[in-house]
Structure 1
């Protein structure tokens, strides 16, 4: 259990805390994934030491969430989030507790966790602490809320999205009472910031067992409380049924919007409602445009130049997977064969053109002339060398 290098790196942190007279454990997802034999991306540490006591133990710390008991410890060129055992009061906003109380009991701390498979702790000797039968649920591949599901989802409504996301990532089923709790409390998802829902949805959409998770997402009615999804159950189901393994989140969003019947010109509005980045919105809009034109025609050099290699390759992959084209075009080769990839690749730049025309300033004339040169070079009417372009400039001076 402790053989993973991240556990080994973090062991001295636990040892230092114990040496100071406190308890310290690895907790949550890192313990779960270690038990499942999955790779671990980071470790979370919980301790009976209060925040100020943690700060006293280690020379270098950062207060990243000290009001909730979390201190970042800088140790041996690594950073670790160390969180004090705590209990939480009521949650008026269905996301953050009104009050956090620090405690000395690991058992009390694990009671506030979302699911039994995450309510696991392990000490530096590899001994497991499991007060909620999380190991049994791991064995039976079951996602079960700790204690009363209704209470857990009222405390933090995002846990419902986490449940279906785990179902997608792990391929587990959700316990009947836990699923019933999601169905009864699905409307609380409206209380959660879209950005937080988006993170869980994207992880679900890109998960290994997404059909499993999306089926529950639909069955419990969670989809009705996500931006733009309420009227698109069939499109979501179709996405869940897909067996495609795609490279990027943009490709998954593109397929979903295509199934929803969203045109590239309307994509921005839909994606903005999900608070996605401008870069992602632009990428999806371009990929959608590729899907719609690939149904009608082949690639042109103008398409490749304007769109670029990365999105051209992704768009062609999607078009082929969706059977919009009978044969997959090797757009990477077509792009590499372009005589120029950007205007900067032209053998003459703006200053050189101005000098040929004996002009001291640029202007509309210069932009129009450069565009003429770009088009002619791109379409192989002109060769991209100084002599050829100089002749063209002199012949086209006004």
Structure 2
């Protein structure tokens, strides 16, 4: 098969491949960029594999960075763009189910493609758009099948994260995992405990953001791979609920986590504990917990002005999406109108500040100032006071004298 008209991203990289070839070596586009091209998707970047060894690449190009030279990767800077060039390689045994004990550079593209995880990722393409397919990856792409290269058991022993990658691709592509590959995940699922939580979380987030999350969640359940995800062993029922929700689709990672937390009926403290077990960022924890609170309030018809203000628009938007997924109608337009109708959206819009209270009321700095601001803020948001300096100072004076 040959691709006639290559997208701009490949044409921009072509001079790099040509220069490698002019030096007497082979060079190809490989992996995900080729897969996405064949699926009609615009690749975000390109990966290049070559028969040239890292030292030879550094001789060919003047501007290079030793990105991962131990594993054969050198970054080449060309025309204000950076390209990762990786030498064809084979890998030894994997004692820790994560990294090869050692890497051997080779001159053969065939040997390099044999070590890749899935047939749809083991495709290569030359400068002329000719596809090199050694493992029937084109047929699997056409039929919507995810299949491990060679013997699945060996691929997952080499890197146990490949099992999470497999279910993640099912979510992103809406593909079906073929039987032998699925069975191998079931047999080797316990190996996932050898993988760093951060790497598992990255795949989980990509699964959540896939176009068809249920296609990834279903095999995650079926193979019991979920049992080896942080604190997920007892969450089978929640994952089943997610799989059974019609038209499941998340616009953010926080949305996925918040719906999970809501269905699991986790307290905010328990949700924070779970997210920390997954090594989540503080920003993700904050946005997720706010979205859970908003979802509960909307589902229970208890969302008031102060909650809308305190939780913020992002949380409210996620909550509305979650509520609709759960089968209860929530108008995002109506929600936005209510939010926009709030007198203020944050404390910076309050007509007085701590400084103005200190000056106008002759007060000393301290905790009292913060308490006054909080009191006035809530009064304005809930409509008990207009947001004017005069009325707010009057109320502050009253509170001070009480």
Cα deviation 1:139-178 (Å, max 9, x = unaligned): 2322222111111111111111111122222222222222
Query: Contact 1:263/1:288 (CA < 8 Å) preserved in 2?
Result: no
- Could you tell me which residue of structure 2 aligns to residue 367 of structure 1? 370
Q: Structure 2 residue aligned with 1:213, among 216, 221, 241?
A: 216
Equivalent-residue separation in structure 1 for 2:206 and 2:54 (angstroms): 32
Are positions 1:52 and 2:55 aligned together? yes
Partner of 2:73: 70
The count of residues paired between Structure 1 and Structure 2 equals: 397
Partner of residue 302 from structure 2, selected from 283, 298, 309 = 298
**1:219-234 paired onto structure 2 within 5 Å:** 219-234=222-237
Q: 1:357 aligns with which of 347, 354, 361?
A: 361
| Range with greater deviation from structure 2 (22-31 or 264-273) | 264-273
Answering whether residue 145 of structure 2 is matched by residue 142 of structure 1, we say yes
Q: Which aligned pairs between 1:1-398 and structure 2 lie closer than 5 A? A: 1=3, 2-242=5-245, 243-323=247-327, 330-359=334-363, 361-398=364-401
Deviations along 1:59-110, one digit per CA (max 9) or x if unpaired, are 2111111100001111111111110111111111101101011111111111
Judging changes above 3 Å, is the alpha-carbon distance between structure 1 residues 140 and 391 closer, same or farther for their aligned structure 2 residues? closer
Asked if structure 1 preserves the Cα contact closer than 8 Å seen for 2:351 and 2:388, the reply is yes
User: Alpha carbons of 1:133 and 1:307: their partners in 2 closer, same or farther (altered >3 Å)?
Assistant: same
Q: TM-score normalised to the size of structure 2?
A: 0.93
Separation in structure 2 between the aligned mates of residue 16 and residue 110 of structure 1, nearest angstrom:
22
Deviation for aligned residue 1:356: 1.5
Shift of 1:15: 0.9
Q: Secondary structure at the match of 1:305?
A: helix
Deviates more, 1:227-236 or 1:318-327: 318-327
Shift of 1:324: 5.5
Cα deviation for residue 394 of structure 1 reads 4.5
State the shift of 1:327 in Å. 6.8
1:21-77 deviation per Cα after TM superposition (whole angstroms, max 9, x unaligned): 111100011111212222212110001111111112122111111100001111111
Distance in 2 between residues matched to 1:44 and 1:108, nearest whole Å: 17
Structure 1 residues without counterparts, runs of 5 or longer: none
Q: What is the distance in 1 between the residues matched to 2:230 and 2:357? A: 51
1:11 offset after TM fit, Å? 0.6
What whole-Å deviation, never above 9, does each CA across 1:91-130 have from its counterpart, x for those lacking one?
1110110101111111111111111111111111112212
In 2, Cα distance between equivalents of 1:19 and 1:39: 28
Equivalent pair of 2:140/2:147 in contact (CA under 8 Å): yes
Give 1:265 deviation, angstroms.
Answer: 3.1
SS of alignment partner, residue 383 of structure 2: coil
- Asked if 2 retains the 8 angstrom alpha-carbon contact of 1:265 and 1:285, the reply is no
Aligned-pair RMSD on alpha carbons? Answer: 2.0
**What secondary structure is seen at the aligned counterpart in 1 of 2:59?**
helix
Q: Which runs of 5+ in 2 are unaligned?
A: none
Secondary structure of the equivalent of 2:269? coil
**3-state SS of paired residue (1:6):** helix
Taking structure 1 as the reference length, what is the TM-score of the superposition? 0.94
Alpha-carbon contact 1:26-1:121 (below 8 Å) kept: yes
Indicate the SS of the match to 1:26: strand
1:224-262 deviation digits (Å, cap 9, x = unpaired): 211222222222122123213231111111112222232
Contact 2:173-2:212 at 8 Å conserved across structures: yes
How many angstroms apart in 2 are the aligned matches of 1:325 and 1:121? 47
In 1, Cα distance between equivalents of 2:52 and 2:212: 39
SS state of the match for residue 266, structure 1? helix
Kindly indicate whether the alpha-carbon contact (under 8 Å) linking 1:350 and 1:370 is maintained by their aligned counterparts in 2.
Answer: yes
Q: Distance in 2 between matches of 1:7 and 1:43?
A: 7
Q: 1:48 to 1:351 in 2, by over 3 A?
A: same
